[in-house]
Amino acid sequence: MTGTGSNDRLAELAEQERDLTLTRFSNEDAWRLGCLIVELARERGAAVTVDIRRGGQQLFHCALEGTAPDNDAWLDRKARVVERYGASSLLVGERFRAKGTTFEESSRLDPDVYAAHGGAFPLRVQEVGVIGVVGVSGLPQAEDHALVVAALTRFLSPPQAA
């Protein structure tokens, strides 16, 4: 698929990444973000595995009921795409599709090691860059991505006054 529709989708995904930039990210932040994703997944009845990594260290991991070891493997593969390209796994896959090909066909990377499927999102800190990855696996790729975006959006929203 090439043309305006794919360009709009690419622009939307790139804008999400710009908008969801953090000012900092600590181990405590990883815990709060991970718990938020788990809470949203439970509200939606979604069986997902959630993973947050920074600099090669796993800071948060939770596999909800109904998930399997395959979800961990998908998270590893999607996180490697984010680490290599500095962009969400969905955006990377969409960039290949916009060129009329697929990541698997044209990246020259082993599909057993890398997966440009939605669900892994860069943790980008202002004036620093990508410092880690937050990922979800268990839903169709667009839904995995949307769950992460919803959680980051809420995580970055100012607290509501009581």
pLDDT for 118 beyond 70:
yes
Q: How confident is the model at residue 7 (pLDDT cuts 50, 70, 90)?
A: confident
Angle CA 72–51–47, to nearest 5: 65
Q: Which stretches of 51-131 are DSSP H helices?
A: 69-85, 89-98, 103-106
pLDDT for 4 beyond 90:
no
Place of tokens 């990541």: 103
Q: What length does the chain have?
A: 162
| Tens digit of each residue's pLDDT (9 = 90 or more) over 10-35 | 999 999 999 999 999 999 999 999 99
| Tens digit of each residue's pLDDT (9 = 90 or more) over 140-151 | 999 999 999 999
Whole-structure pTM value: 0.92
- CA–CA separation, 14 and 19 (whole Å): 9
Q: Show the domains of the chain with their CATH numbers.
A: 4-156 (3.30.450.150)
Q: How confident is the model at residue 161 (pLDDT cuts 50, 70, 90)?
A: low
pLDDT for 2 beyond 70:
no
Q: Give first-to-last CA distance, the chain, whole Å.
A: 47
| Tens digit of each residue's pLDDT (9 = 90 or more) over 37-49 | 999 999 999 999 9
